[in-house]
Amino acid sequence: MKALILSGGKGTRLRPLTYTGAKQLVPVANKPILWYGIESIVKAGITEIGIIISPETGEEIRRKTDNGEQLGANITYIVQDEPLGLAHAVKVAQSFLGDDPFIMYLGDNLIQDDLNLFLDKFKNKHLDGLILLRSVPNPTAFGVAEVDNQGRVLKLVEKPKNPPSNLALVGVYFFSPGIHEAIANIQPSARGELEITDAIQELIDSEKIVESLQLNGWWLDTGKKDDLLEANRIILDTNLTINKLGNIDENSKISGRVNIKEGSKIINSTIRGPVIIGENCHIENCFIGPYTSIGDQCTLIDADIEHSVLLEGAQVLEIHQRIVDSLIGQRAKLEMAPQRPKALRFMVGDDSHIELV
């Protein structure tokens, strides 16, 4: 059994951050989104993992994730020159996948459920395909499945105007090697892509066995700012361990679940968890509220922030209004000019410098 993680694409919904970096490397609770998927796959006992990368951001993913040894995986990188669909990504990876069954996992998705729950059914029933589903209020924005009472998949439609159900396809799939023949038999969609929904429909039309299971826990597609902030909130709520390795002075107050890494200095500040603070940060005269993740080497002075994510090297200086629901990129700098606005909300790309006047 192998795994294929899709980590290409252009990340248009997270721009400007993704003009300069891969969306799958944006951190949730100070860990790249991509790594959560790798860890979940490794936990299921699968260590041979291929990662689809794009020419634009592939080297950054290689550099950050390396050969996967630190995550217990053996990673092979596969370049997809153009984002021509999920089924096209499988086609590009065919030489890596060979005749092995595999999990396909979208690199910007997070699910709470243990993959073993689904893997066991896929293996024990010798299925040609197993898809994961979740009921959603807006099925027209997703690939949608129609299933019978036993969970067997009858029909799949990509972003339908008139959806046959409210069951959306989650970004995790299980396939036998028969999916390669199915992909070879489909044509590009109206948007010029080889759709994985069309390939699965080809399996169904060929009388192959494709079944479904519905998720029990949460599912998060982190392709947009608010979704990423929600993922950060949930991970901090469920996975954060208390650890205070930094230097905290006697005038600071720490409450709740807070994780402070080595080399960070907390001076005359209040921190209310859940909060994670990376290595070698400087935080002085600040209020850091719940559901905030602060990356390595960040500087916050005279700042008030909550429910936000700051990437490595970001600076927030002398902004006395509360910052909420914000995603601030690597090495971005926010500072206050003498005149102060009444409310602040940011999505700031890497290497930015914002001065409020």
CATH code of the domain containing 108: 3.90.550.10
Q: What is the pLDDT of residue 342?
A: 61
Q: Is residue 147 located within the same domain as residue 267?
A: no
Q: Is residue 304 located within the same domain as residue 259?
A: yes
Q: Using one digit for the tens of pLDDT, what is the confidence trace for 204-237?
A: 999 999 999 999 988 887 777 888 899 999 999 9
CA distances from 127 to 134, 150, 154, 179, 197 (A): 20, 14, 15, 11, 17
| pLDDT of 341 strictly over 60 | no
Which parts of 7-93 fold into alpha helices (H)? 33-43, 58-65, 86-92
Q: Report the alpha-carbon distance of residue 226 to residue 205 in Å, rounded.
A: 38
Residue 32 corresponds to which tokens in the numbers above? 């790249």
Q: Is residue 229 located within the same domain as residue 246?
A: no
Q: Which one of 218, 235, 252 terminates a domain?
A: 235
Per the DSSP assignment, residues forming a β-bridge with 288 are 271, 305
Q: Is residue 111 located within the same domain as residue 39?
A: yes
Q: Is residue 129 located within the same domain as residue 54?
A: yes
Q: What mean pLDDT is predicted for residues 328-350?
A: 75
Residue 326 corresponds to which tokens in the numbers above? 């914000």
Q: Is residue 92 located within the same domain as residue 226?
A: yes
Sign of CA dihedral 188, 189, 191, 196: negative
The answer to pTM > 0.85 is yes
Q: Which one of 235, 267, 286 terminates a domain?
A: 235
Segment holding 103, helix H or strand E: strand 102-106
| pLDDT of 26 strictly over 60 | yes
Q: Is residue 179 located within the same domain as residue 269?
A: no
Average pLDDT, the chain: 90
| pLDDT of 343 strictly over 90 | no
Q: Which one of 183, 210, 235 terminates a domain?
A: 235
Q: DSSP code of 5?
A: E
pLDDT above 70 covers what percent of the chain?
A: 92
Q: Which domain holds residue 265?
A: 242-356
Q: Report the alpha-carbon distance of residue 354 to residue 335 in Å, rounded.
A: 6
Residue 40 banded pLDDT, cuts 50, 70, 90: very high
How many domains does the chain contain in total? Answer: 2
| pLDDT of 67 strictly over 90 | yes
Q: Is residue 110 located within the same domain as residue 189?
A: yes
Q: Report the alpha-carbon distance of residue 170 to residue 186 in Å, rounded.
A: 21
Q: Is residue 227 located within the same domain as residue 258?
A: no
Q: What mean pLDDT is predicted for residues 10-36?
A: 73
Q: What is the pLDDT of residue 338?
A: 62
Q: Is residue 175 located within the same domain as residue 27?
A: yes
Q: Is residue 134 located within the same domain as residue 210?
A: yes
